[in-house]
């Protein structure tokens, strides 16, 4: 059980964070925010969401399982097919004044079988395709920011047809295999890449895969297994970090560093469902700790809270473990929205709270995906990570908005908050919009449209949405003004997906 003292500390931190947000909201502040010339302006994708032909992954099996994907959508049909459209994607990045592109290299594409991985026989076509992408980016002067694992795992490590067996990160061979994967990728492409992400959103996969059932292996309320996945991902991250540091010996961008290796977390502004209800306030503190801080504590401070209870008093807990500490050169933050926690409803063990991520009972505008639009929440979650003292990259921020009526305002308002956060002393190095293109949104298929660019479902032709020009202008001028934001229409009704 979590001690009263522990939660008092966590609640105090939460109060501090919400003070900062109130201050931010009250602060009419400057009429513009500016960003330095070396700021990373970019957008992001992930292999499974934009490539095709990844049937040999756990997700490849999952999408073929009837009933798992909305509308029966298939990433092999009607998607961006990114590896066959490298020039088109680099052209739209360039046209939008972006100097950085975040994408993932897929492990199962490079090593389609266990035998190929064990023998280190990389697939020639895969290597050629990623080489082509790196060459095109280099020619366009666009910096790659590369993710080693973005939700998918090779089917030889994770098979959702056998959900009762240990899968993916639960298997003892996965962490050492991931370490090897990271080492080989960093050795092969370290001359192209300086900015690396180990694992994308490590806590989303266990939550969705073992608690909610929407990701492979599709289990519901298997809490102990979910926690073990989270623990193994910490170990995998630390091993991957060390492997990249050893293998990437080339300073590709001439900044004096051969590599910047970070974790990417999906942070939410966690709020009590009923702000005047003390039990909900405490529930929010527990969820905030678990979702936003638990992983970072482990890989930055080496504080291993094995039982996830918010203190380091447990029999397996460790403080400042040197095998884990200082394993993130920067924090990658994916920020989209708020979530609410309550002491009532479907209360999950460990956090002793129910969690709502969409259709929040707030009066904020919503996205097509039923998420709250809450730009000030960006500052709330940035304040939470200020104590770690690390550089920060916003590795994802974006909106599902098929009609493109709210995206320009969404982007500029978030950038404005980011600028204010910079001015308050946070070392923020970049902003990646999610996503460069409309793509395959996991269990929701193609319906949520996050793209700055549309993708024709028949021809895969890319076309810029009007908001792409608004983002491009911010990147070009390095500033966002209140006047620009005020000139945009107010948020309108979303086009809900389902
Ligand atoms: O599409 C996802 C991405 O894969 C991870 N971060 C959140 C995005 C939107 O849901």
pLDDT at 3 > cutoff 70: no
Least confident stretch, 67-71, 321-325, 494-498: 494-498
Q: 441 CB under 6 A from ligand 1? A: yes
d(CA 99, CA 56): 32
CATH of the domain at 344: 3.20.20.80
Angle between helices 407-423 and 466-477 (to 10 degrees): 20
Question: Which residue's CA is minimally distant from atom 9 of ligand 1?
Answer: 441
Residue 334 Cβ contacting ligand 1 at under 6 Å: yes
Is position 492 within any domain? no
Please state the rounded mean pLDDT for residues 440-457.
Answer: 97
46 lines ligand 1 (CB under 6 A): yes
* DSSP annotation string for 42-68: EEE--HHHH----TTBHHHHHHTSTTS
Distance 441 CA to ligand 1 centre (A): 7
Residue 494 in any domain: the answer is no
At residue 498, the pLDDT reads 64
Domain presence at residue 373: yes
Q: What one-character DSSP code corresponds to residue 438?
A: -
pLDDT at residue number 10: 44
Is residue 78's pLDDT more than 90? Answer: yes
Residue 453 inside a domain? The answer is yes
Q: What is the pLDDT at residue 29? A: 85
pLDDT at 46 over 60: yes
Specify the DSSP class assigned to residue 141: T
pTM of the model: 0.94
Task: Locate the ligand 1 atom nearest the alpha carbon of residue 442 and give its number.
Answer: 1
Residue 473 and residue 462: Cα distance in Å, rounded?
Answer: 19
- Give tens-digit pLDDT for 118-177: 999 999 999 999 999 999 999 999 999 999 999 999 999 999 999 999 999 999 999 999
Mean pLDDT of 452-467: 98
Nearest to 23 by CA among 368, 464, 376, 326: 376
Q: Which of 43, 44, 46 to mutate to test the pocket of ligand 1 (most atoms within 8 A of CB)?
A: 46
396 lines ligand 1 (CB under 6 A): yes
Q: Please give the number of the atom of ligand 1 that sits closest to the Cα of 150.
A: 4
Answer for the pair 338, 360: CB distance below 8 angstroms, yes or no: yes
What's the sign of the alpha-carbon dihedral 456, 78, 148, 193?
negative
Rounded Cα distance, 464 and 459, in Å = 15
Q: Angle, to 10 degrees, between the axis of helix 174-189 and the axis of helix 223-247?
A: 30
Phi, psi for residue 138 in degrees, rounded to 5? -60, -45
Q: Is the pLDDT of residue 13 over 70?
A: no
Number of domains in the chain: 1
pLDDT of 497 reads 79
Q: How confident is the model at residue 389 (pLDDT cuts 50, 70, 90)?
A: very high
What are the Cα distances from residue 13, in Å, to 217, 228, 269, 497? Answer: 35, 27, 13, 36
Residue 303, in any domain of the structure: yes
Rounded mean pLDDT of the chain? 95
Q: How far is the CA of 446 from the centre of ligand 1 (A)?
A: 12
Length of the chain counted residue by residue: 498
Select from 73, 265, 441 the residue to mutate for testing ligand 1; criterion: most ligand atoms less than 8 Å from CB: 441
> Is residue 366 one of the residues assigned to a domain?
yes
- Residue 279 C-alpha to ligand 1 middle, in angstroms? 30
- pLDDT (0 to 100) of residue 101: 99
Q: Which one of 51, 267, 370, 434 would you pick to mutate in the ligand 1 pocket, going by the greatest count of ligand atoms within 8 A of its CB?
A: 434
In a domain, 496, yes or no: no
Cα separation of 153 and 165, whole Å?
15
- DSSP type of residue 464: E
Domain that holds residue 305: 4-487
User: pLDDT-based confidence at 1, cuts 50/70/90?
Assistant: very low
Q: Where does the pLDDT of residue 27 fall: very low under 50, low under 70, confident under 90, or very high at 90 and above?
A: low
| Ligand 1 contacts CB of residue 438 (under 6 A) | no
User: Is 381 domain-assigned?
Assistant: yes
Distance CA 33, CA 46 (A): 30
């Amino acid at each position: 059980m979590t001690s009263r003292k522990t939660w008092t500390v966590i609640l105090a931190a939460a109060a501090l964070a919400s003070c900062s947000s109130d201050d931010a909201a009250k602060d009419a502040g400057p009429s513009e925010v500016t960003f330095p010339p070396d700021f990373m302006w970019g957008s992001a994708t992930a292999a499974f969401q934009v490539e095709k032909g990844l049937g040999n992954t756990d997700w490849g099996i999952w999408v073929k399982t009837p009933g798992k994907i909305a509308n029966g959508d298939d990433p092999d049909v009607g998607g961006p097919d990114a590896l066959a459209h490298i020039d088109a994607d680099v052209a739209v990045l360039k046209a939008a004044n972006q100097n950085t592109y975040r994408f993932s290299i897929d492990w199962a594409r490079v090593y389609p079988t266990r035998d190929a991985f064990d023998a280190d026989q990389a697939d020639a076509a895969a290597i050629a395709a990623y080489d082509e992408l790196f060459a095109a980016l280099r020619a366009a002067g666009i910096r790659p920011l590369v993710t080693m694992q973005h939700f998918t795992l090779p089917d030889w490590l994770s098979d959702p047809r056998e959900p009762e067996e240990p899968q993916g990160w639960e298997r003892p061979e996965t962490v050492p295999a991931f370490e090897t994967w990271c080492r080989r990728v960093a050795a092969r492409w370290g001359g192209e890449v300086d900015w690396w992400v180990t694992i994308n959103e490590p806590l989303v996969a266990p939550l969705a895969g073992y608690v909610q059932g929407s990701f492979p292996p599709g289990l519901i309320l298997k809490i102990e297994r979910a926690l073990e996945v989270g623990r193994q991902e910490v170990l995998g991250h630390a091993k991957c970090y060390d492997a990249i540091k050893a293998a990437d010996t080339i300073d590709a961008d001439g900044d004096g560093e051969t590599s910047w290796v970070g974790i990417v977390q999906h942070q939410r502004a966690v709020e009590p469902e009923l702000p005047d209800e003390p039990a909900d306030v405490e529930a929010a503190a527990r969820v905030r700790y678990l979702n936003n801080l638990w992983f970072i504590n482990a890989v930055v401070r080496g504080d291993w809270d094995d039982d996830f209870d918010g203190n380091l008093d447990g029999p397996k807990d460790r403080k400042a473990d040197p095998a884990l500490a200082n394993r993130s050169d920067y924090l990658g933050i994916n920020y989209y929205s708020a979530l609410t926690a309550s002491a009532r409803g479907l209360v999950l063990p460990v956090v002793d709270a129910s969690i709502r991520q969409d259709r929040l009972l707030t009066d904020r505008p919503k996205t097509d995906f039923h998420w709250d639009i809450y730009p000030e929440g960006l500052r709330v979650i940035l304040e939470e990570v200020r104590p770690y003292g690390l550089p920060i990259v916003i590795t994802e921020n974006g909106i599902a908005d098929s009609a493109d009526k709210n995206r320009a305002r969404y982007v500029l308002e978030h950038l404005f908050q980011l600028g204010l956060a910079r001015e308050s002393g946070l070392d923020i190095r970049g902003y990646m919009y999610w996503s460069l293109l409309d793509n395959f949104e996991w269990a929701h298929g193609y319906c949520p449209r996050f793209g700055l660019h549309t993708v024709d479902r028949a021809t895969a032709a890319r076309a810029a949405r009007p908001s792409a020009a608004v983002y491009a202008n911010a990147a070009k001028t390095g500033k966002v003004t209140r006047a620009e934001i005020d000139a945009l229409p107010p948020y309108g009704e979303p086009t809900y997906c389902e």
